[in-house]
Amino acid sequence: MPLIIGCNKTSNYSYKNDLELIKIHTDYMELTANKGKARLIICPKYQGKIITSTYSGINGPSNGWLNRDVINKQNLNGNGIGGEDRIWIGPLGSQFSFYFQQIKPLNEKNWQVPDALKNTAFNEISKTDTQVWLENTVKLTNFQGTTLKLNIKRHISILDKKRIEDNLKFKLNASIDFVAYNSSHILKNIDSIGWKKETGLASIWSAGMFEGSDKTSVIIPLKNNGSITDIYKYLGALNTNRLYTKGKTLLYKTDGKYRSKIGIPHKFAPEIYGCYSKDKQRLTIIQYQKTNDSLYFNSDVSIQKAPYDGEVIPIYNNGTMDYSATNDISFFELESTSAMKELQPNETIGHFHRVYHFSGHFDELNAISKTLLNFDLNQINIHH
């Protein structure tokens, strides 16, 4: 989706660079682990986003993608700044989408993120050195005209080595640098009436922006004999240089240069997937809360007969709006979604989205990939 159009070339910003920039413009909080090597920056006024992270101390690399040009004193709410972890509310596609307001016709050109999701601050409830609890109440109106009122509780925690090992059920070598966090949410219906499928529902949609590169690929081990024909494809057409399989594993090139998107339906989606950036020597693992529910949104911008046939893992690669070639690198997004439910007043849905960044020698990262994703990183077509 056209989130941010202006882009900068590839960068090597440090966590300290981004922290100094944020300090000038808004309040922030830091969470730390691993004796200060693992760090996160969170900005409640910027929709409670995790701005960025690092795994090697204050002078280490900054993992999140920021549109640094729009972080300024006039942009008090942080609209359009990017960031490594945010909460949005689905659906994106269909007549029940919150992202096209009531602007007719329903098409890409009328994309408009709701004000409640791009300009409102989250309120801090409580904080420790390793966790923060935030909250926000929003009203959203879908394309069809139904207004939903909901409360969002956002809990962010930075994870230590033991928690990482417990969550992923493997042993982490002492030589690996790491930062990991859990971003979990509870969404409550605070309307006086129940929500209905016929008029539109809501879901928790977690997403994070990362800088693309020619040597970055998303790695998705498909389940249930899923194949490339079973996944959803949106926006720009994808050739075999950009989307291909090796065995049962789907590979998607995320260079931040070509606007395209894929969606993995519930049946074929794994509970964890990965992203390898060879030039950054970083393997990212995403683990999310996958349930046995059945109502999910898709990213097709149209009036739909089956608006609840959707994806649990959406992946977006940014690029020019007209799909023309560019050398400017921008961002890609690693995402997951909860199901939608017909919530009665005060009923809730929950969702967690966990991000694990590992950095080290290739052989060490490849061992992690083989263990967690059952995939040998040597199989990636880097030269495509």
Q: Over the stretch 152-169, which tens digit does the pLDDT of each residue have?
A: 999 999 999 999 999 999
pTM of the predicted structure, to 2 decimals: 0.96
pLDDT above 70 for 3: no
- Whether 204 and 242 have beta carbons less than 8 Å apart is answered as no
How far, in Å, are 182, 284, 325 from residue 36 at the CA level? 17, 20, 41
Strands of the sheet with 29-33, listed across from one edge: 29-33, 38-43, 49-54
Residue 20 banded pLDDT, cuts 50, 70, 90: very high
- Whether 314 and 93 have beta carbons less than 8 Å apart is answered as no
- Whether 119 and 77 have beta carbons less than 8 Å apart is answered as yes
- Whether 207 and 64 have beta carbons less than 8 Å apart is answered as no
Amino acid type, 128: T
Burial class, 144, CB count within 10 angstroms (exposed 0-12 / middle 13-18 / buried 19+): middle
pLDDT at 7: 45
CA distance 149 to 166: 36
Phi, psi of 381 (to 5 degrees): -80, 75
- Whether 1 and 320 have beta carbons less than 8 Å apart is answered as no
pLDDT at 383: 55
Q: Over the stretch 27-61, which tens digit does the pLDDT of each residue have?
A: 999 999 999 999 999 999 999 999 999 999 999 99
With CA atoms as reference, report the closest residue to 7 among 82, 117, 60, 118.
82
pLDDT at 180: 98
115 Rama sector, left if φ>0, alpha if ψ -120 to 50, beta otherwise: alpha
